[in-house]
């Protein structure tokens, strides 16, 4: 699933391409992607000019000239691609690469914006009032924002219970972190994903806070992680996969050469990759 670094990369790379562009036509072959429904979306989006593009958590937000919004959550396998043409309609040509998983297209007055989604789990919503949209309002602080101070992080942990991996994944507590970066953050901090939040020591909490900032910033600079479906708007892959220490490295020696091996455990329907010798 595209997480904060992937979504931030998508937004920053689309900004110069789609701001000021008018939406001429909307196409889909999968109406279940749309909230509240495709007809409402089509009526609200067609003829509008894209005034702004931003990110909140894992959501991409387009502000329209009407003052209303389009929100795209790419879910498990979604990527927003920008190209100059469609031929045929289901094959978005972006960076010269054909893509057979296009299920939503905004035809702009210059270029096209297309959603590729292998599993068709993405969400595309037309929102009259963003501040009143429940999924948006429930999101926790942005981990790279000024609002996310060490004091705020301590407050979040104090009010939380259960395993630290679960807390990092909770979008209502901290927005934007998913499986990839929670694994890498916890490895960087030498904290086990199975540690109970309330049992973290003060020093560990400080190190963990710094690791969140460090890993997410580094991943943004590398344009995100492409280990499966995620692609940048150009169709190119992100480069952070080569920096991954534990995610999807089950059975490999610990990169710290501590003598341990990376393990993968499942809990609560999610997986965790970690070194049981390094991370306590």
Bridging pattern class, strands 23-28 and 50-56 = unpaired
**From CA 78, how far away is CA 101, in angstroms rounded?**
9
State the alpha helices, DSSP H only, in 175-262.
179-189, 202-221
Around Cβ 161, how many Cβ atoms within 10 Å?
A: 11
Supply the residues annotated as catalytic.
Answer: 2-3, 58, 270
Bridging pattern class, strands 69-73 and 102-108 = unpaired
Q: What is the dihedral of CA 38, 40, 44, 46, to 10 degrees?
A: 40
Q: Residue 39 has which token pair?
A: 């007809």
State the alpha helices, DSSP H only, in the chain.
4-18, 38-45, 134-137, 150-158, 164-169, 179-189, 202-221
Separation in Å, CA 53 to CA 85, 98, 263: 22, 25, 39
Separation in Å, CA 33 to CA 2, 30, 71, 80, 123: 17, 6, 11, 14, 5
Phi-psi region of 120 (alpha: psi -120 to 50; beta: other; left: phi over 0): left
Question: What pairs with residue 108 in β-bridges?
Answer: 23
């Amino acid at each position: 699933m595209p997480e904060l670094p992937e979504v931030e990369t998508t937004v920053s790379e689309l900004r110069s391409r789609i701001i000021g562009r008018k939406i001429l036509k909307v196409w889909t072959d999968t109406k279940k992607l749309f909230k509240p429904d495709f007809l409402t979306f089509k009526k609200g989006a067609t003829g509008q000019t894209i005034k702004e593009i931003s990110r909140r958590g894992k959501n991409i937000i387009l502000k329209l000239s009407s003052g209303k919004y389009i929100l795209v959550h790419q879910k498990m396998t979604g990527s927003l691609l920008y190209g100059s043409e469609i031929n045929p309609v289901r094959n978005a040509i972006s960076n010269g690469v054909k893509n057979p998983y296009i299920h939503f297209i905004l035809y702009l007055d210059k270029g096209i914006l297309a959603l590729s989604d292998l599993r068709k789990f993405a969400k595309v919503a037309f929102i009259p009032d963003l501040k009143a949209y429940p999924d948006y309002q429930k999101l926790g602080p942005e981990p790279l924002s000024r609002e996310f101070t060490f004091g705020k992080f301590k407050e979040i942990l104090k009010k939380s219970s259960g395993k630290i991996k679960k807390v990092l994944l909770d979008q209502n507590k901290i927005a934007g972190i998913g499986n990839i970066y929670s694994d890498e953050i916890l490895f960087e901090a030498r904290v086990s994903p199975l540690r109970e939040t309330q049992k973290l020591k003060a020093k560990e909490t400080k190190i963990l806070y710094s690791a969140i900032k460090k890993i997410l910033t580094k991943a943004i600079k590398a344009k995100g992680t492409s280990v499966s479906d995620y692609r940048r708007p150009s169709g190119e892959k992100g480069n952070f996969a080569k920096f991954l220490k534990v995610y999807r490295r089950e059975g490999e020696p610990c990169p710290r050469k501590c003598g341990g091996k990376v393990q993968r455990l499942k809990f609560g329907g999610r997986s965790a990759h970690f070194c049981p010798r390094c991370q306590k």
